Amino acid sequence: MTAHLRVPSPIGDWVVEGSETGIHRLTLETTPSIDGANSASASPLLERAAEELREYFAGARRHWTVPLSPLDGTDFQRHVWRELQNIPFGQTVTYGELASRLNRPRAARAVGGANGANPLPIFVPCHRVVGAHSLGGYSMGGARVKEFLLHLEESWA
């Protein structure tokens, strides 16, 4: 059974969804929901994920321990998402660099597409991928949120 918990942050409420076996989605709501309710059946795992997110936004967490559910996506997307997890905290790489790491040097746009489809931003840190000459996009709240997350991590690095 899937449940969810809301986690307030300086940039809006994050909604973490998962089951007893892993976290499978994280979304950002930049406007408060009408009911603001959490699932009544939130598992200890969801509670742990919410606590880790609160610690992250407080500057006290740099590594995730909560298990993630296998991510649904194409083979290429899953390959990109695995590689995102290798980008060190507080560091960035360009879309082109990430494509080269995947032995697909001409796939920078496809890397951007895979980042945009990432169901677990922050846990799978797609915000750490930037354009060669700009910040690049961020599907979870736009450039403002991406910039906030990068500055948050840079301030503790």
Active site residues: 126
Q: Which tokens sit at 142?
A: 């736009």
Per the CB < 8 A criterion, the answer to whether 50 and 7 are in contact is yes
Give CA–CA dist 52/121, Å, rounded. 14
Q: Which tokens sit at 34?
A: 């009408």
Q: Which of 4, 37, 36, 38 is nearest to 19 (CA)?
A: 4
Give CA–CA dist 67/124, Å, rounded. 12
Q: Which of 74, 145, 143 is nearest to 114 (CA)?
A: 74
Kindly calculate the radius of gyration of the chain based on its CA atoms and give it in whole angstroms: 15
Give CA–CA dist 3/36, Å, rounded. 14
